[in-house]
Amino acid sequence: EVQLLESGGAFVQPGGSLRLSCAASGFTFSKFVMSWVRQAPGKGLEWVSAVSGSGDKSYYTDSLKGRFIISRDNSKNMVYLQMNSLRAGDTALYYCAKDSVVQGVMNHWGHGTLVTVSS
Amino acid sequence: DIQLTQSPSALSASVGDRVTITCQASQDITNSLNWYQQKLGEAPKVLIYGSSNLETGVPSRFSGRGSGTDFTLTISSLQPEDFATYYCQQYGSLPLTFGGGTKVEMK
């Protein structure tokens, strides 16, 4: 059974940094693209970033380029999101998601980890 | 970036009703369109991928169609467990983008 477990969410002040982690199990981790998707309180879904199965390619939504960095460790079945220069607008529930064999189709999701940016 | 416009943003319906949600893309995405269901307090779940392909385990009352810029999700006979928010998402080009969502509420 595929399982994705996010961690690392916290309350942080504007300008701070945070690293989110996602522990994956139940599938051949290195074969699948992994993404982060966020959802601000009461709002819709926003794709944040994705990383290729080998980890050599990463993709970001335009507004976050340069502040967020996605990475993965295939030896540990982990994917990470390093978030820097955090702003109030980054407050959201951050989901880790696994692509299906069709890249861009996110067929498994974690339960999310909450990031709150406030002074 | 490709914008996805969903309509309506909310609708009220009764059990047994046929419900249709539309999603319009700002440019041609061929059939690179998914539909997700999100219940309150839960993670999204993919229902339809590639415009019309039913994800394994999803009831056949859900169907999707469309290509290019215009897409629809139809629930043929609304069930109590279908009251939720539905999102379209395109993967025709990066960045991936979602529609604004359609909340299906009980009439």
Q: Name the residue facing B87 among A45, A60, A61 (closest C-beta).
A: A45
Q: What proportion of chain A, given as a percentage, has pLDDT over 70?
A: 100
Please identify which residue in the block is written with the tokens 């629930």.
B75
Q: Are residues A47 and B87, on separate chains, in Cβ contact within 8 Å?
A: no
Residues of A in contact with B87 (CB under 8 A): 44-45
How far does chain B reach from its first CA to its final CA, in angstroms? Answer: 36
* Contact yes or no for B85/A42 (Cβ under 8 A): no
Residues near A58 by Cβ (< 8 Å), separated by ≥ 6? A49, A50, A51, A52, A69, A70, A71
Q: Tokens representing B17?
A: 């009703």
What per-residue confidence (pLDDT) applies to A65? 72
Best of A3, A45, A98, A99 to disrupt the B interface (most B CBs within 10 Å) is A45
Residue with tokens 């996602």: A22
CA distance A107 to A98: 6
Residues of A with Cβ-Cβ distance to B49 under 8 angstroms:
100, 102, 105, 107
Instruction: For B9-31, write each residue's pLDDT tens digit.
Output: 999 999 999 999 999 999 999 99
* Closest Cα in chain B to A93: B43
Report pLDDT for A66: 86
- Report residues of chain A scoring pLDDT below 70: none
For residue B101, give how far its alpha carbon lies from the nearest alpha carbon of chain A (Å): 6
- Contact of A99 with A33, CB cutoff 8 Å: yes
Which residue of B lies nearest to A99 if distances are taken between CA atoms? Answer: B46
For residue B82, is pLDDT > 90?
Answer: yes
CB proximity B35 to A under 8 Å: no
> Which residue among A45, A100, A103 places its CB closest to the CB of B98?
A45
Q: Cα B81 from chain centroid?
A: 15
Looking at residue A16, its pLDDT comes to 97
Q: How far is A17 from chain B (nearest CA, A)?
A: 23
Size of interface A-B (CB pairs under 8 A): 59
pLDDT in tens, B62-75: 999 999 999 999 99
Which one of A47, A61, A95 has the shortest CB-CB distance to B43? A95
**Residue A62 main-chain phi, psi, to 5 deg:** -55, -40
The predicted pLDDT at position A79 comes to: 98
Residue pLDDT, tens place only, A41-75 = 999 999 999 999 999 999 999 988 789 999 999 99
Which residues lie below 8 Å from residue A69, measured CB to CB, with a gap of 6+? A58, A81, A82, A84
Q: Which candidate from B46, B97, B99 shows the least CB-CB separation from A106?
A: B46
Q: Categorize the per-residue pLDDT at B99 as very low, low, confident or very high, splitting at 50, 70 and 90.
A: very high
